[in-house]
Amino acid sequence: MKNRSLVLLSGEGTTVPPSEAKALFLAEDPRSTFETPEPRVLIADSEANPLAVGARIAFARRVGYLLQSPSDASELLAGHRARFRSFDLGSGRTQPDPGEYLEGVGASIDLVDPEYELTLVRGRRDYLAITAPTRMLQGWSLRRPRSRPFFHPSAIFPKLSRALVNMSRCKRGDFFLEPFAGTGSIAIEASLVGAEVVAIDLADEMVRGVSSNMRHFAQGWLGIVRADSAHLPVHGVHAAATDMPYGRASSTRGRLPRLLLDLLLPELAGAMPQDSFLVLMHPKSVMVEPTSDFAIEEEHHLQVHKLLTRTITVLKRR
């Protein structure tokens, strides 16, 4: 049964937030359809459970069931702890009265630890949804690079790592591959959403470091393998995501990112089935082009600083 769901996207000025949200719905229901009636608002018609999407999404403030009116909330909220919260996207209208929305739905008011929230988003029009904000608390700061036992300057932050995993359409129980493990940023997030993770790295230091970090977060996974991504020792991979190594801080045996990419893609083509997804983050200067094995679905650009723009390329196995 299709649900009509609301996603209040985070305010980052990139194309990543809507792409991540759509990928999560499409992973559960490939027939999902979407509307973007205004900035930061995404509406999905999908069989995917929006509260489950909200529990793993990175770049969104709220995800939930879209309602036609407050009276529609009573079926889910009756007998549960709930609160009301409004988000104004620049509508300029007066603050709403929470009592007007919560009265008659049969929920007990809990402002600190609610099971659900009746969320009002005010933009060019009003959007009312039932969300579960406490399920969306991800503890990003607990997993930031310098909070891990093993740190390396090439590490990326958990929020972006989670988005890369989500954009690969990885589902719980899928075999997920991180071919350039680094400090394990992406592998940790993939394991947290329930994937069966294998990480690969060529450097002994990174292999030991990833193992330490994964043990620290008590995450179950298939393991870390010291291997060359140009000769992958795995097959049957359902989804993959990686931050391509570059610069002096990365161990690449002197191979430039272009060569690494040219060696990796044929290996992944042999390891991934048709219609699976690969997410690559790389310097914008390293162009990723479609091949006979992979079609480019999307590209997104993130400016790190004046001299570096990272590109996220989403590829689909043909």
Residue pointed to by tokens 């947290």: 192
Q: Could you give the residue ranges of the DSSP H alpha helices within 59-157? A: 74-77, 98-102
Q: What is the pLDDT of residue 253?
A: 62
Among the four given CATH numbers 3.90.550.10, 3.30.2130.30, 3.10.20.30, 3.40.50.450, the one describing domain 3-136: 3.30.2130.30
Residue 221, pLDDT > 90, answer: no
**Is 299 in contact with 311 (CB distance < 8 Å)?**
yes
Where are the CATH 3.30.2130.30 domain residues in the chain?
3-136
Is 241 in contact with 175 (CB distance < 8 Å)?
no
- Write out the residue limits of the CATH 3.40.50.150 domain(s) in the chain: 140-317
Q: What's the pLDDT at 218? A: 72
Q: How confident is the model at residue 305 (pLDDT cuts 50, 70, 90)?
A: confident
Rounded to the nearest 5 percent, the helix, strand and coil shares of the chain are 30, 30, 40
Burial 119-138 (b: 16+ CB within 10 A, else e): bbbbbeeebbbbbbbeebeb
Query: Strand, coil or helix: what is 53?
Result: helix
- Are the C-beta atoms of 138 and 165 separated by less than 8 Å? no
Distance CA 220, CA 210 (A): 13
pLDDT-derived band of residue 196, with 50, 70 and 90 as boundaries?
Answer: very high
Average pLDDT estimate for 89-107: 89
DSSP state of 234: -
Asked if pLDDT for residue 250 goes beyond 80, the answer is: no
Q: Alpha carbon 51 to chain centroid distance?
A: 14
pLDDT at 115: 96
Name the residue among 219, 234, 156 with its Cα closest to residue 188. 219
pLDDT class of 247 with cuts at 50, 70, 90: low
- The predicted pLDDT at position 254 comes to 64
Considering the chain, what percentage of its residues have pLDDT values greater than 70? 97
Cα distance between residue 62 and residue 42, in whole Å = 11
84 contacts 116 by C-beta, under 8 angstroms: no
Ranges 39-53, 91-105, 203-217, 256-270, most confident: 39-53
**Thinking of the domain 140-317, which architecture would CATH place it in?**
3-Layer(aba) Sandwich (3.40)
Position 85 pLDDT exceeds 90: yes
Rounded Cα distance between 289 and 110, Å, is 52
191 within 8 A of 170, measured Cβ to Cβ: no
Q: What would the mean pLDDT of 189-210 be, rounded to a whole number?
A: 94
Q: What type of residue sits at position 102? A: L
Contact (CB, 8 A) for 178 and 207? no
Of the listed ranges 189-198, 240-249, 259-268, 291-300, the one predicted with least confidence: 240-249
CA distance 87 to 273: 42
Could you give the percent of the chain with pLDDT greater than 90? 80
The phi, psi pair for 7, rounded to 5°, reads -120, 120
Q: What pLDDT does residue 257 have?
A: 79
pLDDT tops 70 at residue 249: no
What is the pLDDT of the chain when averaged over all its residues? Answer: 93
Q: What is the pLDDT of residue 235?
A: 95
What average pLDDT does this structure show over 119-137? Answer: 96
